[in-house]
Amino acid sequence: MSEKEKVEGYVEHIIFRNEENGYTVLNLSMKGRELTCVGTLPMIGEGELIEASGDYIEHAAYGKQFRIESYETKVPQDSVALERYLGSGAIKGVGAALAARIVRRFGDDTLRIIEEEPERLAEVKGISERKAREIAQQVAEKAEMQNAMIFLSGYGIALNLGAKIYQQYGDNVYRILKENPYKMAEDIAGVGFRTADEIAGKIGIAVDSEFRIKSGLSYVLNQATAEGHVYLPEPVLLRRGQELLGVEPERMQKSLQDMAIDKKAVIRELPAEREGDEPLRIVYASQYYYLELSTARMLHELNITCEEDREAIEKRIGKIEKKYQIELDEMQKTAVVEAAYSGLMILTGGPGTGKTTTINAMIHYFEAEGLDIFLAAPTGRAAKRMTEATGCEACTIHRLLELTGNVDDSSANVHFERNADNPLDADVIIIDEMSMVDIHLMHALLSAIVPGTRLILVGDQNQLPSVGPGSVLRDLIRSECFPIVCLTHIFRQASQSDIVVNAHKIHNGEEVILDNKSKDFFFLKRYDVNVIWKVLVTLVSQKLPRYVDARPQDIQILTPMRKGALGVENLNQILQKYLNPPAPDKAERENGGNILREGDKVMQIRNNYQMEWEIRGINGIVAERGMGVFNGDLGMIRSINPYTEVITVEFEEGKEPGTVMKDVLKACKKVEPDCEIAL
């Protein structure tokens, strides 16, 4: 391991600082020369004398820079340095002229006077006793902050995280770290159980500490939400807790009861499935229990019966069939009738069973009644498909609820303009692809709907559940508390597709025929990696586009792994090489060993609620602006500006994020199909 370079100098000018993560670009004055430095430096102010260690890097646009990994602030040693520091703006209310008068009065003794006899600053013209105290307080706070950062770094805490911790606790940081470092996992974003546990180990917190067990159990419950669960059976929770903490289940049960008393967890019993079995105890993180409880309450409030005459409804449906040349089977007619009758109803069924036709019939029915209808889906792609299938405008649920505000990555903290105080002004709301909706989004949606509004939920419960916690659609269907219509008949047009037929066969546990005589379902068996690469490239670039009348960028390749010869990362590089090769007119940017190039297809894999977007018309005129790009949104890189480090992505919904800066660019993860980027 090579020894780090060291530099020392005055912070001449702070060029840029990201207030959220502390990333800073500054000019360092070093004995007649200036050096551009970068790093996570949230506490550094102009005028400060620092000694920094790190290494020199070469930036493609800005040339040679010094990347700071650690630093310490040095006390100014002479009157010149003191004047420079005080007059730099580091101390609020002290400019260059006042700094000069202070140093002229006290000379090299200035710093001691400020720290030990601050009242003497009033001897300087222009400084009152009150201002003297304020100057002394600021100097003391900066020194305290610096000491705290040094203290935290001793436990391996990085500067940006240390800044968050100090901002949260102030002078209490020493007490909290020594008594209960696990409190940080509760209070501070970016500090998880494992980080807190590592710090606790260095401090000497006991393995079976009550603080550690409670924090560990909370961590296990929160990790379960990442798997889609809103609760865990108690035996599963204790088993995972034992694996994580190395503590016996009996010891954890007492802590679990204390968590329930403190309302950090909720314990409930499920009735035994078989006679003679013990009831199953389940454990929620408290916020998910109350989220689920509130969601259930709002669903039941919507579940009212509308005063409609069944015979009259059926006559109207007959007229709709005749007018729009739609032929509905009995279950589809039942679905339309239930939608007319019910405040809340669920329409479910597999592919090819006529869900879209039924939705269209519902739309025609409610339009004839003069009702206002809103259509929405969880993702941009699903909303786009809904629009194409119905001929009516559909949007994402996030857009329907008018997402706004300065929020983090957690859907639990999203702020929607449409809520209980400002509900949606609609008579009928139809939500498609309900299997993708998690408990957070469902709760937000229901909060914006008043009883009397018809809510129709459409989806296939056998599809993969939502990425977020909660299997909302499946649980609603299993509850049997609401009107449900399940479509099972596969229509003739759909039955001609072996994709649809085989999907149903797989669900029913039936054997799938793989004779490659199908028009749309093929099975090509290849064993050699190099051959698989060639077949994939040929299929995507030549054969499939002609066969299905599609562009190569419309075709999606799925693989069950990220690493390896046939993993996402390697396949992305191969596909990029053949589908979007380098060209003189294509700007590109290297990031993390991968290349990001104009013309690349990209996928957003994290909800970014703060991303600004705009929809442009044919002539490039902005027609609409909004916020939010969501997991699963697909787009095309239209331009890369290597100098301003701005990237423009055109998404399928027509959204074009306007300014994606360097710090945002670094924040993103791996996207498909090309490389690691940040959007």
Q: For the segment 590-633, what is each residue's pLDDT rounded down to a tens digit?
A: 766 678 899 999 888 776 766 777 777 667 777 777 767 776 77
Structure tokens at 267: 């314990």
Mean pLDDT, residues 35-58 taken together: 83
Which contiguous run of DSSP H or E holds residue 110? helix 110-116
Predicted local confidence at residue 668, as pLDDT:
38
Tell me the C-alpha distance between 481 and 469, whole Å: 21
Predicted local confidence at residue 367, as pLDDT:
94
Per-residue pLDDT at 393 exceeds 50: yes
> pLDDT band for position 392 (50/70/90)?
very high
Which of 133-142, 152-161, 232-241, 292-301 bottoms out in mean pLDDT, i.e. has the lowest?
152-161
Predicted local confidence at residue 338, as pLDDT:
93
Per-residue pLDDT at 249 exceeds 80: yes
Structure tokens at 372: 């206002």
The residue type at 225? T
Q: Strand, helix or coil at 614?
A: strand
Tell me the C-alpha distance between 105 and 191, whole Å: 47
**Contact between residue 445 and residue 396 where contact means Cβ atoms under 8 Å apart:** no
Looking at the whole model, is its pTM more than 0.85? Answer: no
Per-residue pLDDT at 272 exceeds 50: yes
Buried b (16+ CB within 10 A) or exposed e, 276-313: eeeeeebbbbbbbbebbeebeebbeebbeeeeeeeeeb
Predicted local confidence at residue 662, as pLDDT:
37
Tell me the C-alpha distance between 75 and 47, whole Å: 11
Q: Single out the residue of 158, 214, 159 nearest to residue 181, CA to CA.
A: 214
Per-residue pLDDT at 232 exceeds 90: yes
Tell me the C-alpha distance between 137 and 131, whole Å: 10
Mean pLDDT, residues 488-512 taken together: 77
Per-residue pLDDT at 664 exceeds 60: no
Q: Write down the mean pLDDT value for the chain.
A: 83
Q: How many other β-carbons are positioned within 10 Å of the β-carbon of residue 103?
A: 25
Predicted local confidence at residue 658, as pLDDT:
42
Which contiguous run of DSSP H or E holds residue 347? strand 344-349
Mean pLDDT, residues 555-559 taken together: 89
* More reliable by pLDDT, 283 or 380: 283
Mean pLDDT, residues 562-591 taken together: 88
Structure tokens at 2: 């090579």
pLDDT in tens, 82-127: 777 777 666 777 777 888 888 888 887 887 887 788 888 888 888 8
Task: Please enumerate in sequence order all residues whose Cβ is within 8 A of that of 330, keeping only pairs 6 or more positions apart, or say none.
Answer: none
Task: Please enumerate in sequence order all residues whose Cβ is within 8 A of that of 492, keeping only pairs 6 or more positions apart, or say none.
Answer: none
> DSSP for 488-527?
-PPPHHHHT-HHHHHHHHHHHTPPPP-SS--SS-------
Predicted local confidence at residue 657, as pLDDT:
52
Q: Is the peptide bond before 465 cis (omega within 30 degrees of 0)?
A: no
Task: Please enumerate in sequence order all residues whose Cβ is within 8 A of that of 583, keeping only pairs 6 or more positions apart, or say none.
Answer: none
**Contact between residue 152 and residue 162 where contact means Cβ atoms under 8 Å apart:** yes
Which of 92-101, 262-271, 459-468, 611-620 bottoms out in mean pLDDT, i.e. has the lowest?
611-620
Predicted local confidence at residue 408, as pLDDT:
45
> pLDDT band for position 667 (50/70/90)?
very low
Structure tokens at 466: 């939502």
Tell me the C-alpha distance between 657 and 646, whole Å: 10
Predicted local confidence at residue 75, as pLDDT:
66
List the Cα angle 603/609/611 in 5-degree steps.
70
Structure tokens at 349: 């069924």
Predicted local confidence at residue 63, as pLDDT:
80
**Contact between residue 36 and residue 65 where contact means Cβ atoms under 8 Å apart:** yes
* More reliable by pLDDT, 494 or 408: 494
**Contact between residue 152 and residue 146 where contact means Cβ atoms under 8 Å apart:** no
> pLDDT band for position 31 (50/70/90)?
confident
Tell me the C-alpha distance between 609 and 538, whole Å: 38
Q: Strand, helix or coil at 48?
A: coil
Mean pLDDT, residues 476-482 taken together: 93
Per-residue pLDDT at 155 exceeds 50: yes
Predicted local confidence at residue 158, as pLDDT:
67
Per-residue pLDDT at 492 exceeds 70: no
Predicted local confidence at residue 465, as pLDDT:
72
Tell me the C-alpha distance between 70 and 44, whole Å: 12
Q: Single out the residue of 630, 673, 639, 635 nearest to residue 652, CA to CA.
A: 635
Q: How many other β-carbons are positioned within 10 Å of the β-carbon of residue 540?
A: 21
Per-residue pLDDT at 335 exceeds 80: yes
Paired with 40 in beta bridges are 23
